[in-house]
Amino acid sequence: MNDKIDGSMDRRSPRGLRQFFHQISQMANSPWGSPGKGDDDGKGDGKRTGPRNPWVTPDPADQRRAQKPRGPSALDELLRKGRGGFGGGGSGGGGDFDLGGSIRRWKWAIIGVVLVAIAFSMTHIVPPEKEGVVTRLGSYSRTVGPGVKFTWPAPVERIRLEDVRAIRTMAIGSPNATDENFVLTRDQSIVDLAYEVRWSVRDPELFFFQLADPEGTIREVAESAMRATVANFDLVQAIGPGRVEIEAQVQQRMQELLNQYRAGVMIQGIAIRQVDPPSQVDEAFKEVTAARQERESAINLARAYQQQVLERARGDTSAFDQIYAQYQLAPEVTRKRLYYETMENVLSNVDKTVVEARGVTPYLPLNEVQRRIPATPPAAATKGGE
């Protein structure tokens, strides 16, 4: 038969190849053709399509394997487990993948997540020290106080919290001479000012939406108000006694300007930390300050002496007025009294005794004798007594 196949066609041409495979298939269906694996005809369906080889005795084990139903392979088991993990399984033991049920479960899970996110974006807790500004699609809607507040879900409405009770501090200039802030006084002197501005948010709506840079605006307003105020004070007042008045005027000026700008800010106070001359003239300024202090000290001493003299003169005048009133009531008595008092004051330090009446026996001047006797040391007097 092989000779017949080889002689009847040329296998190098397409037609010869088709005839060759056709003859091979005819030989498989002959009584000597071998059946497929697991069945008689090699197709795996357990049916015989042609006669069995009469010279081959079938193996009983092969027959039992052919009659026993084949179990699922390892790949089938893996696919079945994968379908079960995705919610499949099907009915009738077929293990088909339930795509519709899995999609429904995922859809409900996504919807639940979206609902939770919407609930969180709608609920807000405002602390007691803060206020919330609600914006709707970017524009101002309302201002809410402390507590639990509800809004439309984001991004329809958003809330922004601001602390309205905190006192904030802004430092301008530096007390350590690292950032000089020169200001001109009324007497054309230059001082280096360092001060702090204490402020708080009064209206969150205006603070957020009225000014593009609220803190920068506060700084510029503070510098402008300080320069305008210090220009009305001379150097001595700016350094010493005029600080309190300068702080009060700067606070008032700043509040008026910020109210005109509608900044929503309250100025709590101004604190001047340093008022010094420029570093280039610091030594000369110290000498001038010392000289001024000496001058002030001398002036204060002169004023104290002046006040003392004036008080003494006022006392003498009051005493004279009282004596004059008594003189008008009894002139003779008052005249003699004045004479005796004057003589007593004049002769109180004179070692003489004046005797007006005649025939008075003079007395021994014991006071003069005692004055002329030299003082004897206590030790000498004791030795002589022994």
What tens digit of pLDDT does each residue of 138-151 get?
888 888 888 888 88
Residue 6 has pLDDT above 90, yes or no: no
Residue 232 has pLDDT above 80, yes or no: yes
Residue 92 has pLDDT above 70, yes or no: no
257 and 174, same structural domain? Answer: yes
Interatomic CA distance for residues 143 and 147, integer angstroms: 12
- Mean pLDDT is highest, among 54-58, 309-313, 354-358, for 309-313
Choose one of 165, 197, 232: the last residue of a domain.
165
Residue 386 has pLDDT above 70, yes or no: no
Whether 34 is covered by a domain: the verdict is: yes
Total structural domains in the chain? Answer: 3
Residue 33 has pLDDT above 50, yes or no: no
Choose one of 35, 67, 99: the last residue of a domain.
67
Which token pair is 187?
């007497």
- Domain of 224, CATH number, reads 3.30.479.30
201 and 158, same structural domain? Answer: no
Residue 328 to residues 43, 178, 333, 336, Cα–Cα distance (Å): 166, 79, 10, 14
Greater model confidence, 86 or 158: 158
* pLDDT tens profile 36-77: 444 444 444 444 445 555 555 555 655 565 555 565 666 666
% pLDDT > 70, the chain: 63
pLDDT of residue 82: 57
Whether 337 is covered by a domain: the verdict is: no
Choose one of 241, 259, 277: the last residue of a domain.
277
204 and 139, same structural domain? Answer: no
Whether 227 is covered by a domain: the verdict is: yes
148 and 173, same structural domain? Answer: no
Interatomic CA distance for residues 250 and 105, integer angstroms: 68
pLDDT of residue 15: 66
Greater model confidence, 100 or 125: 125
Q: Give the pTM.
A: 0.48
Query: How many other β-carbons are positioned within 10 Å of the β-carbon of residue 310?
Result: 10
Whether 311 is covered by a domain: the verdict is: no
The three-point CA angle 292-294-296 to 5° equals: 70
Interatomic CA distance for residues 189 and 237, integer angstroms: 12
99 and 147, same structural domain? Answer: yes
Residue 250 has pLDDT above 80, yes or no: yes
Range of the domain at 16: 2-67
Summary mean pLDDT of the chain: 75
33 and 117, same structural domain? Answer: no
